[in-house]
Amino acid sequence: GAVVSQHPSWVICKSGTSVKIECRSLDFQATTMFWYRQFPKQSLMLMATSNEGSKATYEQGVEKDKFLINHASLTLSTLTVTSAHPEDSSFYICSAGDRGNSPLHFGNGTRLTVT
Amino acid sequence: AQSVTQLGSHVSVSEGALVLLRCNYSSSVPPYLFWYVQYPNQGLQLLLKYTTGATLVKGINGFEAEFKKSETSFHLTKPSAHMSDAAEYFCAVSEGGSNYKLTFGKGTLLTVNP
């Protein structure tokens, strides 16, 4: 079945540094990818919609300059957390949809800890 | 705007007992409805989905859900709980199709007691 690979699965970084998270669709072309953030024991909150070859659409309240999204190809989207701070520590999950009408496929998530 | 309410943040059942996880939704258009399961520190796995047609939907691992438009509900059930069912369950709604952005409920943690 369709697989979405997310890398890294966990990362620890120092405050002020930037972290890049990759989301790859391994066996299908993902025209659209979604980035979610999940706080401990809470639900997933949509951060942005990433469309191949165009600018991402951010949800209200999400800082586009802090959470940079690039969807340069049909199989790769990246989320860069710039100048990370401890409050950015969270679980980030991507999902991808193909050209059909199949349900979204989710990556295994990235646990970001900012010290 | 769409929204999802999951009643009960924590449900505890005995092994072999019926599992019932409740989900109510709000949508301005005919919804697409989903149940996902999440194990600790992992992504989400699709259990089942409702798009159109038959209102009783069967999914993986013995789970099923029934779409009731009049009650705006999409409750998840399983006749007999197994220890491996212990996980977080999320109900989600989409207004734009199966591969459109999802709005999730807050989740229900299912624990299964031996």
Cβ contacts (< 8 Å) between B43 and chain A: which residues? Answer: 4, 6, 93, 106-109
Q: What local confidence, expressed as pLDDT, does residue B91 receive?
A: 96
Minimal-distance CA residue of chain B relative to A97: B99
Q: What local confidence, expressed as pLDDT, does residue A90 receive?
A: 95
Q: Cβ contact (<8 Å) for B43 and A49?
A: no
Residues of chain B with pLDDT under 70: 97-99
How many CB atoms are closer than 10 A to CB A1?
7
Q: What local confidence, expressed as pLDDT, does residue A56 receive?
A: 92
Tokens at B56, concatenated = 């009783």
Q: What local confidence, expressed as pLDDT, does residue B105 receive?
A: 94
Q: What local confidence, expressed as pLDDT, does residue A101 receive?
A: 62
Minimal-distance CA residue of chain B relative to A59: B101
Interface check for B31 against chain A (CB to CB < 8 A): the answer is: no
CA R_g for chain B? 13
Q: What local confidence, expressed as pLDDT, does residue A42 receive?
A: 82
Q: What local confidence, expressed as pLDDT, does residue A95 receive?
A: 92
Interface check for B97 against chain A (CB to CB < 8 A): the answer is: yes
Question: Would you say A71 and A53 are in contact if contact means Cβ atoms under 8 Å apart?
Answer: yes
Give the CA angle between residues A94, A25, A92 to the nearest 5°.
Answer: 15
Residues of chain A with pLDDT under 70: 1-2, 99-102
